[in-house]
Structure 1
Amino acid sequence: MTPEKIAKAYHDACLAELQALKPGNVHVFADGHGMTIHDFVKSADVSAAVIAQPNLSVGERILHSVIATKNAVDMNTNLGVILLCAPLIHAAYSINSEQTLQQNLNDTLSQLTINDAQYTAEAILLANPAGLGAVYENDVHEKPYVTLLAMMQSAQYRDRIAWQYANSFSDIFNVGLSRYAEAQDKWQNRSKTQNNAWATTAVYLGFLASQLDTHIVRKYGESLATDVMNEAYDIDAAYLSTDNPKLIQKKLLDWDASLKNRNINPGTSADITVACVLASFLQ
């Protein structure tokens, strides 16, 4: 794939996620958490060409994209997205008739270096995500001397993005992509834009209903994250049972307002959703 096609796939995936109604996050229906949709669109604009540059390491893709975003909007709008999309993009450069994107991704993850870890730690500190604290093992506040994969493996049980690295992005390839395809097929009578948006919402709700959002866990603890997961489970069931997702829009918007009134942002689930959409586009 060419850099231009990869950059477009990444940019389109970021915008597709913004078009989807994702309760608790920023989207076209509502801003939130002191951020606007324009902040996220601008972040996608400035990071697309950077993250898709050829001949960069995964760590360089991450750091340069975070720097570009920081210079453009001066806030953390897309760290999780960049962490997930950088290895997918790196793997996409090697797609051929003999290896799938997932196989290339496994090769990419196994070849991550200490330099990748150091670049990524610098990017994380620059973005300064909510809930970032000191940890005993491979703390990003200290210069890493392990590979990026090892650094992510040590963080996998407290961060679902790190978990993707440690588990071959299995949330995306084993769960998210099939749900995305099934939702697109279910509502295929709608326009392509609407269909993609509703399918993206289905992916987001599926992740949120089946696992604790680690962004919420870091900020508020497992008890509240469990409450949100249980709320999502009921809404997800109603969403998947309808033949017309528009009929569930008010329920989604009401829950969106409730989450934002409680200052709850399921950011990890949104980040994984973007990566899922990107993987679909790249395949």
Structure 2
Amino acid sequence: MAEPPGDPTPAAIARARQAFLDACRLDVETPKPGNVSERSAGHGMRAAQFLASAEAAAGALFTPGVPVGSRVLDAVARTRDAAGCNTNLGIVLLVAPLAAALENTALPLAEGAWREATESVLARLDLDDARLAYRAIALANPGGLGDAPEQSVHAAPTIALREAMTLAAARDSIARQYANGFRDVFETGLAAWREMPAGEPQLATLHVFLAFLDRWPDSHIVRKQGDAVAHSVTLAARERHTQWLAALRGTGPITFDAHAPFDPFAGFDAWDADLKARGINPGTSADLTVATLFVAGCLAAARAA
């Protein structure tokens, strides 16, 4: 019998917090082209900074009863203290409303109910949430963030956070989640996660990442290098993703290295090095991947509880 929504139990909070930490750990354990991983540092950052950031942000993200904007600002401030740079602004912006929605979702946790609760949380976001989120963005100082014609993050907001995000949704995939109720995470991301074998979390993580990268131009690349570069990376991801899936499934040639045992990650090493040499970081695709891993982890923990 489902428990009614209300004050979350300590066990439920602990499960959600652990799912977040697991998602952040899996993100850097999995080599993803252009992103920082344990296999490959880059962009002046190392995997250890991302793990420290996750630990620092978790306390802020999973404090019951705290508004979304406060969670975002507190998590970013703690991250700056722990890592000294912006490692997880996008992750924090994505996870904060999902974490708040968990507190209003009946147990045992079900995907549909969580999506409905997330929509309710987004609908209730107000001007204070926007002010706090804008302060967090200014504190994180994400690379390449430019001005906008309306509700620029360089000025004080005058509308609620979801309205501001909706204005940016066409040019930013994280903002789009606020506008569409996290549809891309719950649909595109989870579908990709579930396509991989249950016992292969790194393969699933890479598949989710590539699913996002080959579907939309990465917002972080657009901001830093422009539309043309972002579109070229998307096209390359689409081709390489298709080849990789064919090799995994045995339906196509293993084009990565025919003279060595198939390593499902080694085929991306050269592309990873090239992207990093050019300063290209598909960071938004990685952020969406972490949010997907968090959702998948919470749902799995609920089934096991």
| Bigger CA radius of gyration | 2
TM-score range, shorter chain: over 0.9
1:257 aligns with 2:270: no
1:276 aligns with 2:292: yes
Aligned counterpart, 1:200: 205
Could you give the per-residue CA deviations for residues 131-171 of structure 1, whole angstroms, max 9, x where no partner exists?
Answer: 11222201122111211100100111121110111111111
Aligned counterpart, 1:166: 179
Compute the TM-score of the two structures, normalised by the length of structure 2.
0.87
Q: How many residues matched?
A: 275
- Where do residues 1-283 of structure 1 align in structure 2 (5 Å cutoff)? 1=8, 2-96=12-106, 100-183=113-196, 185=197, 188=198, 192=199, 195-241=200-246, 242-243=248-249, 246-283=262-299
Is residue 238–residue 248 contact of structure 1 (8 Å, CA) maintained in 2? no
CA distance in 2, matches of 1:239, 1:113: 44
The ranges of structure 1 where at least 4 consecutive aligned residues each deviate by more than 3 angstroms after the TM superposition are 243-248
Is residue 77–residue 136 contact of structure 2 (8 Å, CA) maintained in 1? yes
Compute the TM-score of the two structures, normalised by the length of structure 1.
0.93
Give me the identity figure in percent: 38
Deviation of residue 243 (structure 1)? 3.5
Is residue 19–residue 298 contact of structure 2 (8 Å, CA) maintained in 1? yes
Q: Secondary structure at the match of 2:264?
A: helix
CA distance in 1, matches of 2:77, 2:179: 25
Q: Hey, which of these two has a bigger chunk of helix by percent?
A: 1
| Ranges in structure 2 where 5+ consecutive residues have no aligned partner | 1-7, 255-261, 300-305
Is residue 208–residue 229 contact of structure 1 (8 Å, CA) maintained in 2? yes
CA distance in 2, matches of 1:282, 1:115: 28
Letter in 1 for 2:60: V
Query: How well do the aligned residues superpose, as a CA RMSD in angstroms?
Result: 1.5
| Ranges in structure 1 where 5+ consecutive residues have no aligned partner | none
